[in-house]
Structure 1
Amino acid sequence: MQNEQNSFVELVKRRYSVRSYSDKPVEDEKIIKCLQAVHLAPSACNAQPWKFIIVNDQNLKNQIADATSKNILPMNHFTKQAPIHVVVIMERPNISSAIGSVLKNKPYNLIDIGIATAHFCLQATELGLGTCIVGWFNEKKVRSLLNIPASSRPVLIITLGYPKNDEIPEKRRKPFEKIYNYNQY
Protein backbone atom coordinates (compact mmCIF):
# COMPACT_ATOMS: atom_id res chain seq x y z
CA MET A 1 0.00 0.00 0.00
CA GLN A 2 2.81 2.43 0.84
CA ASN A 3 4.36 2.02 -2.64
CA GLU A 4 0.98 2.74 -4.26
CA GLN A 5 0.63 5.93 -2.20
CA ASN A 6 4.15 7.01 -3.11
CA SER A 7 3.50 6.32 -6.78
CA PHE A 8 0.37 8.49 -6.67
CA VAL A 9 2.26 11.37 -5.07
CA GLU A 10 5.01 10.99 -7.68
CA LEU A 11 2.38 11.07 -10.44
CA VAL A 12 0.88 14.26 -9.02
CA LYS A 13 4.35 15.82 -8.80
CA ARG A 14 4.97 15.05 -12.50
CA ARG A 15 1.74 16.72 -13.67
CA TYR A 16 2.12 20.35 -14.70
CA SER A 17 0.56 22.75 -17.19
CA VAL A 18 2.38 22.02 -20.45
CA ARG A 19 2.63 25.00 -22.79
CA SER A 20 5.13 23.63 -25.29
CA TYR A 21 4.29 20.48 -27.25
CA SER A 22 6.19 18.28 -29.67
CA ASP A 23 4.58 17.45 -33.00
CA LYS A 24 4.45 13.74 -32.15
CA PRO A 25 0.87 12.53 -32.67
CA VAL A 26 -1.10 11.23 -29.69
CA GLU A 27 -2.16 7.62 -30.05
CA ASP A 28 -5.92 6.95 -29.96
CA GLU A 29 -5.37 4.23 -27.34
CA LYS A 30 -3.93 6.80 -24.95
CA ILE A 31 -6.86 9.17 -25.50
CA ILE A 32 -9.26 6.30 -24.77
CA LYS A 33 -7.39 5.50 -21.53
CA CYS A 34 -7.75 9.13 -20.45
CA LEU A 35 -11.47 8.99 -21.21
CA GLN A 36 -11.77 5.73 -19.26
CA ALA A 37 -10.32 7.55 -16.25
CA VAL A 38 -13.02 10.22 -16.69
CA HIS A 39 -15.65 7.48 -16.89
CA LEU A 40 -14.58 6.31 -13.41
CA ALA A 41 -14.66 9.79 -11.82
CA PRO A 42 -17.08 10.34 -8.95
CA SER A 43 -19.87 12.91 -9.18
CA ALA A 44 -22.64 14.23 -6.95
CA CYS A 45 -25.63 11.86 -7.07
CA ASN A 46 -23.74 9.99 -9.81
CA ALA A 47 -24.90 12.69 -12.24
CA GLN A 48 -21.78 12.53 -14.45
CA PRO A 49 -22.72 15.94 -15.94
CA TRP A 50 -20.04 15.99 -18.61
CA LYS A 51 -19.16 15.17 -22.16
CA PHE A 52 -15.60 15.35 -23.48
CA ILE A 53 -15.21 16.28 -27.16
CA ILE A 54 -11.89 15.22 -28.67
CA VAL A 55 -10.79 17.65 -31.38
CA ASN A 56 -8.13 16.05 -33.58
CA ASP A 57 -9.09 17.54 -36.95
CA GLN A 58 -6.26 20.00 -37.69
CA ASN A 59 -8.45 22.74 -39.17
CA LEU A 60 -11.03 22.55 -36.39
CA LYS A 61 -8.30 22.35 -33.74
CA ASN A 62 -6.75 25.56 -35.09
CA GLN A 63 -10.12 27.30 -34.95
CA ILE A 64 -10.56 26.17 -31.35
CA ALA A 65 -7.03 27.44 -30.60
CA ASP A 66 -8.00 30.79 -32.11
CA ALA A 67 -10.99 30.87 -29.75
CA THR A 68 -8.58 30.61 -26.81
CA SER A 69 -6.21 33.37 -27.88
CA LYS A 70 -7.60 35.83 -30.42
CA ASN A 71 -9.06 39.01 -28.96
CA ILE A 72 -8.21 37.73 -25.51
CA LEU A 73 -5.14 38.36 -23.44
CA PRO A 74 -2.21 36.91 -25.38
CA MET A 75 -1.60 34.18 -22.82
CA ASN A 76 -3.01 31.17 -24.65
CA HIS A 77 -1.10 31.31 -27.94
CA PHE A 78 0.59 28.01 -27.06
CA THR A 79 -2.68 26.18 -27.77
CA LYS A 80 -1.91 26.02 -31.51
CA GLN A 81 1.03 23.70 -30.76
CA ALA A 82 -1.04 21.05 -29.02
CA PRO A 83 -1.98 18.18 -31.34
CA ILE A 84 -5.27 17.53 -29.52
CA HIS A 85 -7.83 19.76 -27.85
CA VAL A 86 -10.36 18.24 -25.49
CA VAL A 87 -13.41 20.42 -24.96
CA VAL A 88 -15.13 19.70 -21.66
CA ILE A 89 -18.87 20.19 -21.85
CA MET A 90 -21.12 20.71 -18.85
CA GLU A 91 -24.30 18.73 -19.36
CA ARG A 92 -27.47 19.13 -17.36
CA PRO A 93 -27.16 17.25 -14.08
CA ASN A 94 -29.68 14.67 -12.95
CA ILE A 95 -32.58 15.91 -10.82
CA SER A 96 -31.01 14.92 -7.48
CA SER A 97 -27.79 16.78 -8.19
CA ALA A 98 -29.66 19.81 -9.57
CA ILE A 99 -31.88 20.03 -6.48
CA GLY A 100 -28.86 19.59 -4.21
CA SER A 101 -27.04 22.40 -6.00
CA VAL A 102 -29.96 24.76 -5.44
CA LEU A 103 -30.68 23.75 -1.84
CA LYS A 104 -27.02 23.86 -0.79
CA ASN A 105 -26.03 26.77 -3.07
CA LYS A 106 -23.11 24.74 -4.42
CA PRO A 107 -22.39 24.22 -8.14
CA TYR A 108 -22.04 20.44 -7.94
CA ASN A 109 -21.87 20.10 -11.72
CA LEU A 110 -18.80 22.36 -11.89
CA ILE A 111 -17.20 20.57 -8.94
CA ASP A 112 -17.83 17.25 -10.70
CA ILE A 113 -16.29 18.52 -13.94
CA GLY A 114 -13.19 19.61 -12.03
CA ILE A 115 -12.81 16.12 -10.59
CA ALA A 116 -13.34 14.46 -13.99
CA THR A 117 -10.86 16.83 -15.63
CA ALA A 118 -8.26 16.02 -12.96
CA HIS A 119 -8.77 12.30 -13.67
CA PHE A 120 -8.18 12.96 -17.39
CA CYS A 121 -5.03 15.00 -16.77
CA LEU A 122 -3.51 12.61 -14.24
CA GLN A 123 -4.10 9.64 -16.54
CA ALA A 124 -2.49 11.60 -19.39
CA THR A 125 0.54 12.29 -17.20
CA GLU A 126 0.87 8.62 -16.32
CA LEU A 127 0.89 7.85 -20.06
CA GLY A 128 3.71 10.34 -20.73
CA LEU A 129 1.41 13.02 -22.13
CA GLY A 130 1.14 16.65 -21.14
CA THR A 131 -1.96 18.74 -20.57
CA CYS A 132 -2.96 22.29 -19.84
CA ILE A 133 -6.43 23.22 -18.61
CA VAL A 134 -7.71 26.39 -20.28
CA GLY A 135 -10.75 28.19 -18.94
CA TRP A 136 -10.34 31.47 -20.81
CA PHE A 137 -11.84 31.17 -24.30
CA ASN A 138 -14.60 32.45 -26.56
CA GLU A 139 -17.41 30.19 -25.46
CA LYS A 140 -19.79 31.35 -28.20
CA LYS A 141 -17.28 30.52 -30.93
CA VAL A 142 -16.47 27.08 -29.46
CA ARG A 143 -20.19 26.34 -29.09
CA SER A 144 -20.74 27.20 -32.76
CA LEU A 145 -17.69 25.30 -34.06
CA LEU A 146 -18.68 22.09 -32.26
CA ASN A 147 -22.47 22.36 -32.66
CA ILE A 148 -22.99 22.28 -28.90
CA PRO A 149 -26.69 22.48 -28.03
CA ALA A 150 -28.05 25.34 -25.91
CA SER A 151 -28.71 22.92 -23.05
CA SER A 152 -24.98 22.21 -22.72
CA ARG A 153 -22.04 24.52 -22.07
CA PRO A 154 -18.32 24.33 -22.94
CA VAL A 155 -16.53 25.15 -19.69
CA LEU A 156 -12.92 24.00 -20.17
CA ILE A 157 -10.49 23.12 -22.92
CA ILE A 158 -7.65 20.69 -22.20
CA THR A 159 -4.67 20.83 -24.54
CA LEU A 160 -3.12 17.39 -24.94
CA GLY A 161 0.11 16.16 -26.44
CA TYR A 162 3.66 15.09 -25.78
CA PRO A 163 5.69 17.75 -23.95
CA LYS A 164 8.45 19.27 -26.09
CA ASN A 165 11.00 18.62 -23.35
CA ASP A 166 11.25 16.29 -20.37
CA GLU A 167 12.10 18.92 -17.79
CA ILE A 168 9.43 19.22 -15.10
CA PRO A 169 9.29 22.77 -13.78
CA GLU A 170 9.42 23.37 -10.06
CA LYS A 171 5.94 23.82 -8.60
CA ARG A 172 5.24 27.14 -6.92
CA ARG A 173 2.86 26.52 -4.05
CA LYS A 174 1.76 28.21 -0.86
CA PRO A 175 3.60 26.92 2.19
CA PHE A 176 2.13 23.53 3.04
CA GLU A 177 1.11 24.56 6.55
CA LYS A 178 -1.00 27.41 5.08
CA ILE A 179 -3.44 25.11 3.25
CA TYR A 180 -5.03 23.26 6.18
CA ASN A 181 -6.10 23.43 9.81
CA TYR A 182 -7.38 20.83 12.25
CA ASN A 183 -10.75 21.24 13.96
CA GLN A 184 -11.30 24.93 13.21
CA TYR A 185 -10.49 27.63 10.71
Structure 2
Amino acid sequence: MDFLSLVKQRQSDRAFDPERSVEPEKLERILEAGRLAPSSCNSQPWHFIVVDDPELKNRVADATSNRILNINHFTKQAPVHIVIVEESANISAGLGGWIKRKHFPHIDIGVAAAHIVLAAAAEGLGSCMLGWFDEKAMRKVLGIPSGKRVILDIVIGYSVQEHRDKKRKSADTVISANHY
Protein backbone atom coordinates (compact mmCIF):
# COMPACT_ATOMS: atom_id res chain seq x y z
CA MET A 1 0.00 0.00 0.00
CA ASP A 2 1.37 3.43 -0.85
CA PHE A 3 1.67 5.97 1.97
CA LEU A 4 -1.27 8.19 1.01
CA SER A 5 -3.56 5.15 0.81
CA LEU A 6 -2.38 4.12 4.28
CA VAL A 7 -3.15 7.60 5.64
CA LYS A 8 -6.59 7.55 4.05
CA GLN A 9 -7.32 4.08 5.45
CA ARG A 10 -6.15 4.78 9.05
CA GLN A 11 -8.89 5.86 11.45
CA SER A 12 -9.46 6.11 15.18
CA ASP A 13 -11.01 2.75 16.00
CA ARG A 14 -13.23 2.32 19.05
CA ALA A 15 -14.22 -1.33 18.70
CA PHE A 16 -11.74 -4.19 18.94
CA ASP A 17 -11.87 -7.97 18.92
CA PRO A 18 -11.16 -8.68 22.62
CA GLU A 19 -10.33 -12.32 21.87
CA ARG A 20 -7.53 -11.58 19.42
CA SER A 21 -4.12 -10.55 20.71
CA VAL A 22 -1.51 -8.55 18.83
CA GLU A 23 1.39 -10.67 17.61
CA PRO A 24 4.70 -9.75 19.34
CA GLU A 25 6.52 -9.23 16.04
CA LYS A 26 3.88 -6.72 14.89
CA LEU A 27 4.06 -4.88 18.19
CA GLU A 28 7.86 -4.79 17.93
CA ARG A 29 7.70 -3.18 14.47
CA ILE A 30 5.12 -0.64 15.67
CA LEU A 31 7.30 0.35 18.63
CA GLU A 32 10.35 0.57 16.39
CA ALA A 33 8.48 3.02 14.16
CA GLY A 34 7.77 5.18 17.22
CA ARG A 35 11.34 4.90 18.50
CA LEU A 36 12.73 6.00 15.13
CA ALA A 37 10.51 9.10 14.90
CA PRO A 38 12.32 12.40 14.46
CA SER A 39 12.55 14.82 17.38
CA SER A 40 13.83 18.29 18.06
CA CYS A 41 17.64 18.17 18.37
CA ASN A 42 17.28 14.37 18.47
CA SER A 43 16.20 14.60 22.12
CA GLN A 44 13.72 11.69 21.86
CA PRO A 45 11.71 12.94 24.89
CA TRP A 46 9.52 9.86 25.28
CA HIS A 47 9.20 6.58 27.09
CA PHE A 48 6.77 3.99 25.75
CA ILE A 49 5.12 1.66 28.27
CA VAL A 50 3.58 -1.37 26.58
CA VAL A 51 0.67 -2.69 28.62
CA ASP A 52 -0.59 -6.07 27.46
CA ASP A 53 -1.01 -7.95 30.74
CA PRO A 54 -4.81 -8.46 30.88
CA GLU A 55 -5.29 -7.40 34.52
CA LEU A 56 -3.00 -4.39 34.27
CA LYS A 57 -4.47 -3.42 30.90
CA ASN A 58 -7.94 -3.34 32.45
CA ARG A 59 -6.71 -1.07 35.24
CA VAL A 60 -5.17 1.27 32.66
CA ALA A 61 -8.45 1.17 30.70
CA ASP A 62 -10.32 2.12 33.88
CA ALA A 63 -8.11 5.22 34.12
CA THR A 64 -9.13 6.22 30.57
CA SER A 65 -12.89 5.88 30.89
CA ASN A 66 -15.21 8.43 32.44
CA ARG A 67 -18.73 7.57 33.51
CA ILE A 68 -19.94 11.15 33.85
CA LEU A 69 -18.88 12.07 30.30
CA ASN A 70 -19.58 8.54 29.02
CA ILE A 71 -16.28 8.30 27.12
CA ASN A 72 -13.59 5.73 26.39
CA HIS A 73 -15.49 2.66 27.63
CA PHE A 74 -14.18 0.73 24.61
CA THR A 75 -10.59 0.71 25.86
CA LYS A 76 -10.91 -2.61 27.73
CA GLN A 77 -11.54 -4.35 24.40
CA ALA A 78 -8.11 -3.37 23.05
CA PRO A 79 -5.43 -5.96 23.85
CA VAL A 80 -2.58 -3.42 23.96
CA HIS A 81 -2.13 0.04 25.42
CA ILE A 82 1.00 2.03 24.60
CA VAL A 83 1.30 4.72 27.24
CA ILE A 84 3.61 7.58 26.28
CA VAL A 85 5.39 9.37 29.10
CA GLU A 86 7.17 12.67 28.50
CA GLU A 87 10.88 12.65 29.24
CA SER A 88 13.12 15.70 29.49
CA ALA A 89 14.34 17.26 26.30
CA ASN A 90 18.07 17.56 25.83
CA ILE A 91 19.77 20.91 26.48
CA SER A 92 19.57 22.07 22.85
CA ALA A 93 15.87 21.35 22.49
CA GLY A 94 15.12 22.75 25.95
CA LEU A 95 16.98 26.00 25.28
CA GLY A 96 15.51 26.27 21.78
CA GLY A 97 12.03 25.73 23.18
CA TRP A 98 12.55 28.40 25.81
CA ILE A 99 13.81 30.90 23.22
CA LYS A 100 11.05 30.11 20.72
CA ARG A 101 8.34 29.63 23.38
CA LYS A 102 7.49 26.14 22.11
CA HIS A 103 7.34 22.94 24.11
CA PHE A 104 9.18 20.67 21.71
CA PRO A 105 8.60 17.43 23.68
CA HIS A 106 4.85 17.64 23.00
CA ILE A 107 5.48 18.20 19.30
CA ASP A 108 7.97 15.33 19.23
CA ILE A 109 5.60 12.97 21.06
CA GLY A 110 2.88 13.86 18.55
CA VAL A 111 5.20 12.86 15.71
CA ALA A 112 6.13 9.59 17.45
CA ALA A 113 2.45 8.85 18.12
CA ALA A 114 1.63 9.41 14.44
CA HIS A 115 4.38 6.96 13.51
CA ILE A 116 2.90 4.42 15.94
CA VAL A 117 -0.68 4.61 14.68
CA LEU A 118 0.38 4.56 11.03
CA ALA A 119 2.65 1.57 11.68
CA ALA A 120 -0.29 -0.16 13.39
CA ALA A 121 -2.45 0.47 10.31
CA ALA A 122 0.32 -0.89 8.07
CA GLU A 123 0.25 -4.06 10.20
CA GLY A 124 -3.52 -4.42 9.70
CA LEU A 125 -4.36 -3.18 13.20
CA GLY A 126 -6.66 -0.49 14.47
CA SER A 127 -5.69 2.18 16.96
CA CYS A 128 -6.97 5.18 18.85
CA MET A 129 -4.98 7.93 20.57
CA LEU A 130 -6.37 8.96 23.93
CA GLY A 131 -5.50 12.18 25.69
CA TRP A 132 -8.40 12.04 28.13
CA PHE A 133 -7.53 9.95 31.17
CA ASP A 134 -6.93 10.18 34.90
CA GLU A 135 -3.21 10.93 34.85
CA LYS A 136 -2.74 10.39 38.58
CA ALA A 137 -4.40 6.96 38.37
CA MET A 138 -2.33 6.09 35.29
CA ARG A 139 0.89 7.00 37.12
CA LYS A 140 -0.12 4.91 40.12
CA VAL A 141 -1.12 1.83 38.09
CA LEU A 142 2.08 1.87 36.02
CA GLY A 143 4.54 3.05 38.67
CA ILE A 144 5.35 6.26 36.80
CA PRO A 145 7.21 8.79 38.98
CA SER A 146 5.04 11.71 40.14
CA GLY A 147 7.22 14.27 38.34
CA LYS A 148 6.59 12.66 34.93
CA ARG A 149 3.72 13.61 32.60
CA VAL A 150 1.63 10.96 30.90
CA ILE A 151 0.85 12.48 27.51
CA LEU A 152 -1.01 9.81 25.52
CA ASP A 153 -2.42 6.32 25.70
CA ILE A 154 -2.63 4.60 22.33
CA VAL A 155 -4.86 1.53 22.23
CA ILE A 156 -4.08 -1.05 19.56
CA GLY A 157 -5.84 -4.19 18.44
CA TYR A 158 -7.75 -5.87 15.67
CA SER A 159 -10.56 -3.50 14.78
CA VAL A 160 -14.11 -4.75 14.31
CA GLN A 161 -15.30 -1.29 13.35
CA GLU A 162 -16.49 -0.43 9.86
CA HIS A 163 -14.28 1.90 7.86
CA ARG A 164 -15.58 5.47 7.83
CA ASP A 165 -15.00 8.14 5.22
CA LYS A 166 -12.81 10.90 6.60
CA LYS A 167 -14.48 14.23 7.20
CA ARG A 168 -11.82 16.86 6.78
CA LYS A 169 -11.74 20.53 5.90
CA SER A 170 -11.17 21.19 2.21
CA ALA A 171 -7.59 21.60 1.02
CA ASP A 172 -8.15 25.24 0.05
CA THR A 173 -9.27 25.95 3.63
CA VAL A 174 -6.12 24.60 5.28
CA ILE A 175 -3.42 25.03 2.60
CA SER A 176 -2.11 28.22 1.01
CA ALA A 177 0.93 29.02 -1.08
CA ASN A 178 3.48 31.69 -0.29
CA HIS A 179 1.27 33.59 2.17
CA TYR A 180 -1.50 33.00 4.69
Q: If the length of structure 1 is used for normalisation, what is the TM-score?
A: 0.93
CA distance in 2 between counterparts of 1:16 and 1:184 reads: 31
Q: Which consecutive residues of structure 2, in runs of 5 or more, have no partner in the other structure?
A: none
Give the drift of 1:180. 1.0
Q: Which moved more, 1:146-155 or 1:16-25?
A: 146-155
Match of 2:16 in 1: 21
Letter aligned with residue 99 of structure 2: L
Q: If the length of structure 2 is used for normalisation, what is the TM-score?
A: 0.96
Letter aligned with residue 30 of structure 1: K
Match of 2:79 in 1: 83
Q: Secondary structure at the match of 2:2?
A: helix
Counterpart of 1:119 (choices 115, 120, 126) is 115
**Pair 72,54 (structure 1): closer, same or farther in 2 beyond 3 Å:** farther
Letter aligned with residue 175 of structure 1: S
Match of 1:68 in 2: 64
Counterpart of 2:174 (choices 175, 179, 184) is 179
Give the drift of 1:150. 3.1
Give the drift of 1:14. 1.0
CA distance in 1 between counterparts of 2:173 and 2:4 reads: 19
Q: Is 1:139–1:154's contact at 8 Å kept on the other side of the alignment?
A: yes
Give the drift of 1:39. 1.8
Q: Secondary structure at the match of 2:156?
A: strand
Kindly report the root-mean-square deviation, in angstroms, between the aligned alpha carbons of the 2 structures: 1.2
**Pair 151,129 (structure 1): closer, same or farther in 2 beyond 3 Å:** same
Give the drift of 1:72. 5.2
CA distance in 2 between counterparts of 1:131 and 1:114 reads: 15
Counterpart of 1:58 (choices 54, 58, 81) is 54
Q: Which moved more, 1:63-72 or 1:48-57?
A: 63-72
Letter aligned with residue 169 of structure 1: R
Match of 1:102 in 2: 98
Q: 1:73-107: per-residue Cα shift (whole Å, max 9, x none)? A: 21211111111111011111111111111110011
Identity %: 48
Give the drift of 1:182. 1.1
Q: Which consecutive residues of structure 1, in runs of 5 or more, have no partner in the other structure?
A: 1-5
Match of 1:3 in 2: none
